[in-house]
Amino acid sequence: MRRKLLPKTSHKAGLPPGTLLHIGEKHPFEVQLQLIDYGPDHLCEQILDNPEDCRTFLHSPSVSWINFDGVHETDLLQQVAALFNLHPLVPEDIVNTTHRPKLEEFDNYLFVVLKMLHYDAEQVNIRLEQVSLVLGPGFVLSFQEQRGDVFDGVRQRLRNNKGRLRKMGSDYLAYALLDAVVDSYFAILENLGEQIEWLEDEVINRPTPETLSQIHHFKREMILLRKAVWPLREIIGGLQRLGPPLVQNSTALYLRDIHDHTVQIIDTIETFRDILSGLLDLYLSSISNRMNEIMKVLTIIATIFIPLTFVAGVYGMNFEFMPELHWPWSYPVLLLLMLGMAGGMMIFFRRKNWL
């Protein structure tokens, strides 16, 4: 199914600011609210039945990560937003899944919007999912459109208590989630790179109209990737500049690493775009060359038959006083003459490198 370039947002026109109206694809599944509360010496992981269950962890000295799957359920999302005293515009942006990735700073928390990518190997396309993060003192809220994400590695590190994740604050957890999203881009780019290499061989060896369709498909995917990744540089740079109390100086060093990865991903995307533009030019050149070869062969055939047609036309006029018509060897001589003319022209074309 062809992806829409511009999602429908017109039905939101005229509504007051802060109105929760879900914009995007609705996924039919039950909303899930997952809590992971941890510290150096403990870990509590559970599925919450009610947003009010989060109140117990609001002022705990440990770090709480609350993951909300299913932003289309605006009522439950509104309860979570009210519990953590979020600005009304924040949940409005969360349910509008068409937002450009961005970073917003409030009095005592940060709001980050970014895109998580899923690669469909069967359809060979990329599906975007908006992920919203709220970083506050001692907590991180993550809001996703559906279940299934790239955060399993972070959850496993928390459970195994490996590395520094359990010993650091909520800002380091936010960094780990951002890092997981950015790292997933590399796997998608590897898959796209393999497909582009295959497409390059097709353009060189067997260009078909289907090949042209594939080139345009991948060019659209690159545009989609660029829109999702390009603003990340601003987000990571903004987080690095914030500093304490929400982002510690020790975490800013790790954010610099994400920034480097983001620049590398952007460079790869630009390289793929240049390759696809070159493939499009190569495809058009290949088709033009094939057409020229066909026209050359047809022109040579027509040129060879022009004098033969002339000879056959002269002796096909059937005038009474044409002495050659009465010679007993006129027919085979004429055939030999015509074959000689065709052969001579073939030799001439070969010497001119036209064949």
Contact (CB, 8 A) for 94 and 22: no
CATH assignment of the domain containing 45 = 3.30.460.20
Asked which of 285, 313, 342 is the last residue of a domain, the reply is: 285
User: Is 60 exceeded by the pLDDT of residue 5?
Assistant: no
The verdict on 84 and 22 lying in the same domain is: yes
Same domain, residue pair 228 and 324:
no
Token pair, residue 185, equals 């881009």
The domain boundary, picked from 248, 263, 285, lies at 285
pLDDT tens figures, 196-245: 888 888 888 888 888 888 888 888 889 888 988 999 988 998 888 887 78
User: Residues 6 or more apart from 332 whose CB is under 8 A from it?
Assistant: none
Q: Are both 316 and 298 inside the same structural domain?
A: yes
Half-sphere exposure of 348 (CA within 13 A, CB side): 9
Nearest of 300, 212, 231 to residue 269 by alpha carbon: 231
Among the listed residues 198, 269, 196, 199, the one whose alpha carbon sits nearest the alpha carbon of residue 230: 269
Domain match, 265 and 314 both? no
How much is the pTM? 0.79
pLDDT at residue 307 greater than cutoff 70: yes
**Is 208 found in the same domain as 66?**
yes
Q: What is the pLDDT, as a whole number, of residue 14? A: 55
Tell me the pLDDT of the chain averaged across its residues: 84
Exposed, middle or buried: residue 158 (CB in 10 Å: 0-12, 13-18, 19+)?
Answer: buried
The whole-number average pLDDT for the span 103-131 is 87
CA gap 84, 55 in Å, rounded: 9
The neighbouring-strand residues paired with 270 are none
Residues 242 and 313 in one domain: no
Number of domains within the chain: 2
One domain, residues 249 and 311: no
SS3 52: helix
User: For residue 9, is it within any domain?
Assistant: no
Q: What percent of the chain has pLDDT over 70?
A: 91
**pLDDT higher for 251 or 289?**
251
- Identify whether residues 232 and 301 lie together within a single domain: no
The three-state secondary structure class of 161 is: coil
For the segment 265-281, what is each residue's pLDDT rounded down to a tens digit? 999 999 999 999 888 88
- Nearest of 187, 186, 178 to residue 235 by alpha carbon: 178
Distance of CA 56 to the CA centre of its chain: 41
Looking at residue 99, the DSSP 8-state letter turns out to be: P
| Residues 252, 240 contacting (CB under 8 angstroms) | yes
Considering the domain architecture, whether residues 139 and 241 belong to the same structural domain is answered as yes
139 vs 351: which has the higher pLDDT: 139
* DSSP-H helix ranges across the chain: 74-83, 89-95, 152-160, 170-205, 209-229, 232-242, 249-314, 330-351
Round to the nearest angstrom and report the end-to-end CA distance of the chain.
46
Q: Return the SS3 of 33.
A: strand
Domain end among 229, 255, 285:
285
pLDDT, tens only, 218-229:
888 898 889 889
d(CA 257, CA 262): 9
pLDDT-derived band at 104 (thresholds 50, 70, 90) equals very high
- Residues 315, 174 share a domain: no
What is the rounded CA–CA span in Å between residue 222 and residue 218? 6
- pLDDT, position 149: 84
Geometric angle at alpha carbon 86, from 80 and 90, rounded to 5°: 95
Are 66 and 139 in contact by the 8 Å Cβ rule? The answer is yes
3-class DSSP state of 144 = strand
In a domain, 6, yes or no: no
- Average pLDDT of span 75-103: 89
Q: Tell me the torsion sign for CA atoms 232, 236, 242, 246.
A: positive
Taking residues 276-292, what's their average pLDDT?
83
Domain range for residue 292? Answer: 288-351
Looking at the fold, whether 109 and 248 belong to one and the same domain comes out as yes
Domain contains 3 = no
The pLDDT assigned to 1 comes to 46
CB atoms < 10 A from the CB of 194, how many? 10
